[in-house]
């Protein structure tokens, strides 16, 4: 081999080496590039997955019910809140809106989406077996990427509780107005009788002044009870909690009631065990006991007996009871007597000057103490109210 051949050979080898090196470099570059692409793809997929998990969690946890309907009018998605609202028990994806919700009004709303792209704040009243439900619906027609209709999304907000509270408030205002109007009109007509000449006859004057005084007192009692309930409702009532011996507390309330008990010839008994101590606000507890004892005398048997009992229930709780041997409370009234203005015996309550708020106050005060109240009654045999209160810490 000539030196020239050697040089040519070396050049050839060098060129081949160069080509190999360049190919290896390109392959490595390619590999790195694909690795980076794969990494980017994985990161994007992970982000998409996380996003989808977040959306699913949001969808599942939303208080609002969501119903997604396809262009074919069949359900595509239902979140748990919507399933609860419509009491859906079976899988409903793929069914018609009517099959899924069993309400024509909802199906009609979905049909309306074909002509209206958006329905806002539409209120539905759904008559159910047990209750009527009120739903606010916002609905939006969906479009596919090419602009063709692609079904709709409906968002339901349950207004039932709100409507029920509104109804309670309206009833309450109507009741208060009625309760105020009755004594007021009696006071007014008594005053008119006096103005119209009655005042010239001393007997008529004193009779009508007694009427005015009685109904003015009734108004005062009513307003005091209403103000107390308003304070209890707003949570503004501060309790002056302290250890209260129930035997002494019962005796004080019984002494307060002695006069009205005598008028009905009712025997009063204090059977509270010594050493039963509640953590209570003494003034409020006295009011609770007075309301229960007054009721037991008013609605119990003339010539009968009213007994206050008390015992330790367990380490944390004490119980106080007020029992009478009167006619009892009918079953249908038993669940309602703690409602404001509910009266089992309307005539007797009005005759006795009751405000219809006594037991509502008892319940609220006891609950503000963290306690409970319940009633047991047997027609013809008597009624017993049970109150549990936290025991004083020793
Ligand atoms: P009222 O001002 O009418 O007494 P309450 O809220 O104190 O209002 O009581 C509600 C109703 O519960 C009363 O109107 C009465 O019909 C019934 N009631 C309460 N206590 C008794 C009882 N011991 N025996 C029978 N009925 C009772």
Which secondary structure element, helix H or strand E, spans residue 18, and what is its range?
Answer: helix 3-61
Between residues 384 and 221, the one the model is more confident about = 384
Atom of ligand 1 nearest to the CA of 326: 24
Q: Coil, strand or helix: which one is 175?
A: helix
Give the angle subtended at the CA of 360 by the CAs of 359 and 364, to the nearest 5°: 115
The average pLDDT across 366-378 equals 96
**Backbone phi and psi for residue 370, each to the nearest 5 degrees, phi listed first:** 85, 20
By alpha-carbon position, which residue is closest to atom 23 of ligand 1? Answer: 296
Using an 8 Å Cβ cutoff, are 321 and 288 in contact? Answer: no
In the predicted structure, residue 354 carries a pLDDT above the cut 90: no
Answer yes or no: is the C-beta of 349 below 6 A from any ligand 1 atom: yes
Report the pLDDT averaged over residues 150-176.
92
pLDDT at 344: 84
When pLDDT is cut at 50, 70 and 90, the band that residue 88 belongs to is confident
Whether the CB of 65 sits within 6 Å of ligand 1: no
pLDDT per position as a tens digit, 208-223: 999 999 999 999 999 9
What is residue 358's predicted lDDT score, i.e. its pLDDT? 94
Mean pLDDT score of the chain, rounded to an integer? 92
Question: Other CB atoms closer than 10 Å to residue 306's CB: what's the count?
Answer: 26
- Give CA 130 to chain center in angstroms: 18
pLDDT digits 0-9 by tens, 277-310:
999 999 999 999 999 999 999 999 999 999 999 9
Exposed, middle or buried, 73 (CB in 10 Å: 0-12/13-18/19+)? Answer: middle
C-alpha distances in Å from residue 46, one per residue of 42, 50, 54, 55: 6, 6, 12, 14
* Whether the CB of 359 sits within 6 Å of ligand 1: yes
For residues 320 and 389, is the Cβ–Cβ distance under 8 A? yes
Tokens of 73: 């009018």
The total of other beta-carbon atoms located within 10 Å of residue 332's CB is: 8
* Residue 236, pLDDT score: 80
CA distance 123 to 13: 87
C-alpha to C-alpha distances, 176 to 66, 223, 347, nearest whole angstrom: 41, 9, 18
Q: Among 178, 268, 339, 343, say which to mutate for ligand 1: greatest number of ligand atoms within 8 Å of CB.
A: 343
């Amino acid at each position: 081999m000539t030196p020239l051949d050697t040089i040519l050979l070396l050049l050839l080898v060098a060129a081949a080496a160069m080509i190999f090196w360049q190919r290896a470099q390109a392959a490595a570059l390619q590999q790195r590039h694909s690795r980076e692409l794969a990494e980017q793809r994985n990161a994007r997929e992970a982000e998409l997955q996380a996003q989808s998990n977040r959306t699913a969690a949001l969808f599942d946890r939303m208080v609002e019910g969501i119903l997604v309907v396809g262009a074919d009018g069949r359900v595509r998605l239902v979140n748990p809140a919507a399933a609860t609202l419509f009491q859906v028990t079976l899988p409903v994806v793929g069914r018609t809106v009517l099959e899924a919700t069993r309400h024509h009004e909802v199906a009609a709303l979905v049909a309306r989406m074909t002509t209206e792209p958006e329905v806002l704040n539409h209120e539905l009243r759904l008559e159910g077996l047990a209750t009527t439900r009120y739903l606010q619906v916002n609905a939006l027609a969906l479009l596919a990427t090419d602009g063709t209709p692609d079904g709709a999304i409906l968002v339901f907000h349950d207004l039932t509780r709100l409507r029920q509270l509104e109804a309670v408030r309206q009833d309450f205002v109507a009741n208060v107005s009625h309760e105020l109007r009755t004594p007021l009109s009696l006071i007014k007509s008594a005053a008119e009788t006096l103005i119209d000449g009655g005042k010239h006859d001393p007997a008529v004057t004193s009779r009508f002044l007694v009427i005015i005084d009685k109904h003015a007192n009734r108004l005062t009692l009513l307003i005091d009870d209403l103000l107390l309930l308003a304070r209890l409702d707003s949570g503004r009532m501060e309790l002056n909690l302290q250890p209260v011996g129930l035997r002494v507390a019962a005796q004080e309330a019984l002494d307060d009631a002695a006069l009205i008990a005598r008028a009905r010839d009712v025997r009063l008994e204090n059977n509270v065990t010594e050493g039963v101590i509640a953590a209570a606000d003494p003034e409020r507890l006295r009011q609770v006991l007075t309301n229960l004892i007054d009721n037991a005398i008013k609605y119990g048997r003339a010539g009968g007996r009213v007994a206050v009992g008390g015992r330790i229930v367990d380490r944390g709780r004490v119980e106080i009871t007020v029992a009478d041997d009167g006619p009892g409370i009918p079953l249908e009234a038993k669940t309602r007597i703690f409602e404001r203005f509910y009266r089992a015996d309307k005539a007797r309550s009005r005759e006795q000057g009751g405000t219809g708020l006594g037991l509502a106050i008892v319940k609220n005060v006891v609950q503000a103490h963290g306690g409970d109240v319940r009633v047991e009654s047997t027609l013809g045999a008597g009624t017993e109210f049970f109150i549990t209160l936290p025991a004083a810490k020793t």
